[in-house]
Amino acid sequence: MAEMIIKNGVVYDPKNGINGEKNEICIKDGKIVENVGSGATIIDAGGCIVMPGGVDGHTHCAGKINTGRIMSPHDMRYKPIPGLSGEETRTKLLRPQVGYNTPNTYAIGYRYSKLGYTFVAEAAITPMTARHTHEEFNEIPILDKLGLTLMGSNWQVMECIRDGDPDKLKAYVAWLLLATRGYGVKIVNPGGGSNWTWGKNVESIDDKVTDFDVTPAQILTGLAEANEALDLPHSIHVHCNNLGVPGNLSTTLDTMKLLEKVKTRRDRQVMHVTHVQFNAYTGTSWMDFASGAPDIANYINKHDHITFDMGQVIFGPAMTMTADGPTEYRNARMFDAKWSNYDEELEDAAGVVPLNYLSNHFAHTTMWSIGLELALLVKDPWKVMFTTDNPNGGAFVNYPEGQALLMSDKKRQEIISGFPDMTMDRINIQNIDRELDWNEIATMTRAMSAKMLGLEEKGHLGVGADADVAIYDIKPDKVDPSVEHEKVKKALSFAKYTIKGGEVVVRDGEITATPKGKVYWVNAYNAVPQAEKDRMMADLKEKFDKYYSIQLSNYMVEDVYMPGAVEVRPEVA
């Protein structure tokens, strides 16, 4: 592979302590190296910003997104961001691109790359549909990917916890990651998905799950301890109970406090809490709900076992999709909207509801404010990941809008000046004048998310890192993000260059190459003692024989679905 050197760039590489310095970046064989030969291709960054390729640690790009596509054929007619994302016509190089909140696989790869992103984490693989999820991964060009496997309402998980059998639980978690070729443990509304089978939910972490005599607290603790016993690179990835319910602040804080006692051997969090904006509400109903962001931030500022992502709301159309079936039922009733609901046999429940966030609606404007408040009130950017919970809070093509808002108090104040009067006593954003700098943005969109996921070769530009680089056409010594919001937003909306694995895939906002991305998965099963495997498999075979509509022999994701896969093996189990 040809050598490359990036010169004259202003580099932001938080992991390696580089904060706006003019450094050269040398690339060889798809990796960052110390130096290259005199014949290396030169890219002159011309004083523009250079960052690692973006890492989206929580998005929905495969799986439930298909239901959203079916439910919203009109979504195919939306333009991503007119005037910012370039032309999306079919060419000899590019496949057709359609959709906004539910874009097709090609558009997902192209549009993320134009934003300077090179890695995405699909946040919820339902085990039964894992094969098709990996087929979709294979059709998303350019990007490296991983998927998190749903376990929070799984029958086998709850039975192991009920029976006080951590060894069998550990064996099953390792097997389920192998079966789905998943990367980590995802927990959505723990226990609530099982209760939804009976039209019920759980309302606190101490409620009992129907038929299993376990609580969400036990599910969370049990899976966290199994996760650490297997030494998985990522922590448990948790969508808290009571998402979207006024007053859910107490449940969220209870969940965070619960995990204080779990210890990890790795340099990472014990629990990553997802899209916290949707779980940071005070009040008893929508009429008195308000931001609980200060309470969440105060807790996170004092504790180091938690990281989180924002779940920032973007005004306009969105597509809510989650394995939290009860939440989507409430959404459909509240907004009189289309609703898809399904129960994946012994594994989880889910729903999809399209909706529209309005800038003149007091609830939506309050939600918009809460996401920003969380990112601004938490002092350490290594605890915060920027997301919209794509496409739940808004399509990922809007990331530049939210990121630019974090850098400009002036723009934030301009926007809230048009909010309804009912909003103003519910929010705190008008009193927060903090503005993030480029290094903090690089942390929240690259370094933090890579570390949070345990991706050692991603999210930085040190020697040995994957040569994933983004160059943005903005000169930090010439542009003030505090007052030039639109320039920042435009620059972040399409990269001057995106380099993926040492290959230029975007130049001046246009796709120039479409290499296949890699899929990362974790194999901890080989380290599980054979006796525990045998004991677990005996129960599992009985479950398949009695309850599943699919044969065990047809369940697991096979090698043919995983071209170019990266198998990660924990050192200790």
pLDDT at 300 over 80: yes
The confidence score (pLDDT) of residue 74 equals: 87
pLDDT at 80 over 90: no
What domain range includes position 330? 54-91+121-402+410-454
CA 531 to centroid of chain Cα atoms: 36
Q: Is residue 2 part of a domain?
A: no
Q: Is residue 49 part of a domain?
A: no
pLDDT at 106 over 60: yes
The confidence score (pLDDT) of residue 82 equals: 61
> What six digits make up the tokens of 376?
């601004």
Beta-carbon-side half-sphere exposure of residue 460 (alpha carbons within 13 Å):
19
Q: Is residue 469 part of a domain?
A: no
What is the mean predicted confidence (pLDDT) over 499-510?
96
Is residue 391 reached through a cis peptide bond, with omega within 30 degrees of 0 on the bond before it? yes
pLDDT at 85 over 60: no
**Per residue in 360-418, pLDDT tens?**
999 999 999 999 999 999 999 999 999 999 999 999 999 999 999 999 999 999 999 99
The confidence score (pLDDT) of residue 1 equals: 58
Q: Is residue 299 part of a domain?
A: yes
From residue 297, give the alpha-carbon distance in Å to each of 67, 254, 446: 35, 14, 21
The region of weakest confidence among 85-89, 117-121, 282-286, 396-400 is: 85-89
CB 130 within 8 A of CB 149: yes
Q: Judging by DSSP bridges, how do beta strands 469-472 and 49-52 pair with one another?
A: antiparallel
Q: Is residue 533 part of a domain?
A: no
pLDDT at 571 over 90: no
CATH number at residue 337: 3.20.20
- pTM for the whole structure: 0.97
Q: Is residue 565 part of a domain?
A: no
The residue ranking higher by pLDDT, 345 or 311, is: 311
Query: Looking at residue 466, what DSSP letter applies?
Result: B
DSSP letters of 77-125?
Answer: G--SSTTTS------SSPPP---SSS--HHHHHHHHHHTTEEEEEEEEE
Q: Is residue 212 part of a domain?
A: yes
Question: What proportion of the chain, given as a percentage, has pLDDT over 70?
Answer: 98
pLDDT at 181 over 80: yes
**Per the structure, how many domains does the chain have?**
1
Mean pLDDT score across all residues of the chain = 95
Q: Is residue 149 part of a domain?
A: yes
| Nearest alpha-carbon partner for 263 in 296, 311, 231, 294 | 231
